[in-house]
Amino acid sequence: MSDKNSPCILQKPDTFLHPLELAVPVLSLGGVLLAMLFSGPESPIDVRYFAAGCIISSFILAYLAWIRPRKDIVALTTPIYSFLFFVAPSDFAVNFVLELLYAVSLTILLIRLKMRFGAATEYGLSREKTLEEPLKTYCETISRQANDISPGSGHYAAVAFARFAQGDYRLAADVADAALAEMGNNSPSPVLATAFSIIREQGLLLEESAESPAEFIEFSSQDSDVLARSLPPANKRNDCYEVSLDNALLFLYAAAWTASLKDRPLLLTGQGFAQKLFAS
């Protein structure tokens, strides 16, 4: 996969997100520090102004929560609390103790966000704009090892994957069937033909809500170089059945990404599903 064909816009997400993450404790606790320094009775500056650090940090934290795939409702609502504590008129005084407690809470929430709610998407862009790891590396591998796939087959692969991701299993099976008919017996990529066969078979079984059969189509051990997930032992039939489908879907995704550039926007909408298959 050449970089010039990739819709990936951004290369170094950390240069933007890490400073933002650091800004949360730095701004909030920095504001507290200044509030402590200027908290004397003869101080010319009202300590309430330093609560601005906590307010800005709250908005940054909410942004960091927003750009994650899983949303943390607590972090998302911190700007509201910052407004209630530091801006809205109330009976309790804004002093450095309140600011300190608030700043510590924000820092704890940031740690919780990073530990429990996954990594942020690059620059806040969704998975609909850029291909992420490990799928990106896998697509690059397939583009090197299976570069003889035609754009027509790539398009079929993209549509079959998209239909499967949408839960339209019969349509996915129909597309796989059409692809196999077009490729005939002279498929340049036998792995692609096997992947379509697996999609057709398992798509029809899912459509009928049928149990996994005793005998089913699966990849051979010679195909393992181009498969995303390693093949389980042959005696674990349920695992073999499920991994066959995962590998077939991921191979179709990578083949479509490599061979059919016009389908990349469609493939990016299904990236979340492909990443899930990888992670399982």
Partner 1 sequence: MKIGNVEVKPSIISIAVFVIFTVFLLAASVNSPDVRSQLIWLIPCLFMLLVIPIALNYMSRSQYADIAPQYEEEAKTVRVKLINENMIGKPVRIEGVVERVHFQILNRPQYLVADRSGAISVKMFTSPDEDVKVNDVVEVLGQVIRRYIVVGDPVINCVSIRKIKKSGN
Cα–Cα nearest to 217, from 192, 233, 199, 190: 199
d(CA 84, CA 61): 16
Cβ-contact 267, 253 below 8 angstroms: yes
The reply to whether 169 sits near partner 1 by the rule CB under 8 A is: yes
Q: Which is nearer to partner 1, 116 or 144 (CB)?
A: 116
47 vs 249 by CB, closer to partner 1: 249
Of 25, 104, 204, 207, the one binding partner 1 by CB under 8 A:
207
By CB under 8 A, what part of segment 224-243 binds partner 1? 238, 242
Residue 55 token pair:
């307010």
Give dist(CA 271, CA 132) in Å, integer.
8
165 is a contact residue toward partner 1 (CB under 8 A): yes
Q: Binding partner 1 by CB under 8 A: which of 35, 55, 199, 277? A: 277
To partner 1, the closest distance from the beta carbon of 166 in angstroms equals 5
Residue of the chain from 3, 4, 44, 73 that contacts partner 1 (CB under 8 A): 73
Contact between 66 and 130 (Cβ < 8 Å): no
Among residues 167, 188, 190, 265, which is the contact residue for partner 1, using CB under 8 A?
167
Q: How far is the CB of 241 from partner 1 (least distance, A)?
A: 10
How many CB atoms sit inside 10 A of residue 146's CB? Answer: 19
Compute the least distance from the CB of residue 67 to partner 1, in Å.
Answer: 11
SS3 of 212-235: the string is CCCCCCCCCHHHHHHCCCCCCCCC
Nearest distance, CB of residue 216 and partner 1, angstroms: 15
Shortest Cβ 66–partner 1 spacing (Å): 8
Amino acid (one-letter) located at 174: D
Can residue 112 be called a binding residue for partner 1 (CB under 8 A)?
Answer: no
Give me 129's structure tokens. Answer: 């704009």
**How far apart (Å, rounded) are the C-alpha atoms in residues 212 and 242?**
9
Q: Counting Cβ atoms within 10 Å, is residue 216 exposed (0-12), middle (13-18) or buried (19+)?
A: middle
Binding segment (CB under 8 A) for partner 1, from list 63-71, 132-140, 182-190, 219-227: 63-71
- What's the token pair of residue 75? 């972090």
- The residues that touch partner 1, with contacts defined as CB under 8 A, are 69-71, 73, 162, 165-167, 169, 206-207, 209, 238, 242, 246, 269-270, 272-273, 276-277, 280
